[in-house]
Structure 1
């Protein structure tokens, strides 16, 4: 509800921004509370560098698609697999 604040949120402004960007309620709450506790710049530094899907083999891309529950990927080309994974 607009205007209703959750008292357990430590950084409601960041929470709302994350929700607007599509984050789940739980994820947005975890990130906003951690950012309020440790500082926003510190939280941004925590994430690791993910490898590029372009460096993966087609077999690895298919395995990842299977892991996350995608369907209809078996006949796709590498570029199509990458697009499916990024859109999920």
Structure 2
């Protein structure tokens, strides 16, 4: 049985599985807190098709440092390196 990580983690079992696989705490939490993350996999268009605003919002969700000063290409690179 998964440990209860409190209200900050929606899916404790998924969070622990991701952490066991070596994922960072912040990345595992972001995935475990996404509604139906498993069913959404691969359904998003590539980042190049996103607007800069959409990329910025995603960078905000993942707490990417320096995102407010980044260009669209820099946001894409930062988002990909955070995964």
- Bigger Cα Rg: 1
